[in-house]
Amino acid sequence: MREARPKPIVALMGEFSAGKSTLTNLLLGAAPLPVRITATRLPPVRISAGPEGGDREDHAGELHPLPPGGLAEIAPEDTRLVRLRMEADILHLCDLVDMPGISDPNRDSTVWRDVIGAADIMIWCTHATQAWRQSEAAAWDSLPEGLKGNGLLVVSRWDKLTNDRDRSRVMTRLRAEAGSRFCAIYPVSLLDAIEAGEDRHRWVRSGAEAFVCGLLDLILNGEIALPVGIDLPGDPPVAPIDLARARDTGAIDRIVPQRVRPQPDGTRRIRPSSGVRPV
């Protein structure tokens, strides 16, 4: 019998408004994280499988129930990490950590540096219209060495580039400037992915299919064996999820992140709870 291995921790990072929380919600098939401007005030949020609930950890390592208003009432200056629990297929394979934007001038980088060392895989989100800025490269290069070899670069808001010439130019630059830093580069239109619903063609065209398959391959196998990224112009590859390997982990029988339709206020209320065991 194969010995169970610890679930990896997948962290999502990037600059302000790069789509980290939207991408996290997409992977979860739910919307526990706010995606509006107020979300930048949140400390790192770690999401694990379990009965719905959550706690916040202060800077002394003590756990406290979430305030009645949920994440909206979290005070970053008093909180090192928010811990949420919920049911989602992806959480049976990994924990997700949504990190604060690195470019917020009002936030000390120690807010995320103190947490990032526990991560095993990094998803870096960069905005297509200003992709891979110098500040992003500097932040990436400051990460722990072991984490740099397990990174995926997601070029969010890909739909903002409206012609093949601009898309090809951005991808050429990213491959030259960031390609050696990441296992793969995935252009993704998060809006199209969220709105795809059961429209598989739109889901594939959004780039989300290739990204999700690449992420699952990295989680399950430690490397990207499926098609990496998108060669433009043209459609992204349709890569099958390796369900046999997923079943072999004993975690779940099916790993297909659902298309999430956020609530009108962009949030999902998490009931206060106590007694979460520190990780």
Look at residue 119 and tell me if it is in a domain: yes
pLDDT tens by residue, 136-166? 999 898 888 878 889 999 999 999 999 999 9
Look at residue 254 and tell me if it is in a domain: no
pLDDT tens by residue, 85-140? 988 889 989 999 998 888 655 556 666 677 888 899 999 999 999 999 999 999 89
Look at residue 275 and tell me if it is in a domain: no
Determine the pLDDT at residue 161. 94
Look at residue 1 and tell me if it is in a domain: no
Look at residue 123 and tell me if it is in a domain: yes
Q: Say if residue 176's pLDDT is above 90.
A: yes
Directed axis angle between helix 20-28 and helix 208-221, to 10°? 70
187 is in which domain, residue-wise? Answer: 9-248
227/133: higher pLDDT: 133
Look at residue 255 and tell me if it is in a domain: no
Q: Nearest Cα to 140, choosing from 89, 103, 105, 171?
A: 103
Domain count, the chain: 1
- What is the rounded distance in angstroms from the CA atom of residue 25 to the CA atom of residue 129? 22
pTM given for the model? 0.78
59/274: higher pLDDT: 59
Look at residue 257 and tell me if it is in a domain: no
Provide the phi-psi class of 169: left if phi over 0, else alpha when psi is between -120 and 50, else beta: alpha
Question: CB under 8 Å, gap of 24 or more: what pairs does 65-69 form?
Answer: 65/272, 65/273, 65/274, 66/270, 66/272, 66/273, 67/272, 68/272
CATH number at residue 85: 3.40.50.300
DSSP string, 85-97: EE--GGGGT-EEE
Tokens of 196: 């795809």
- What is the rounded distance in angstroms from the CA atom of residue 92 to the CA atom of residue 215? 14
Look at residue 273 and tell me if it is in a domain: no
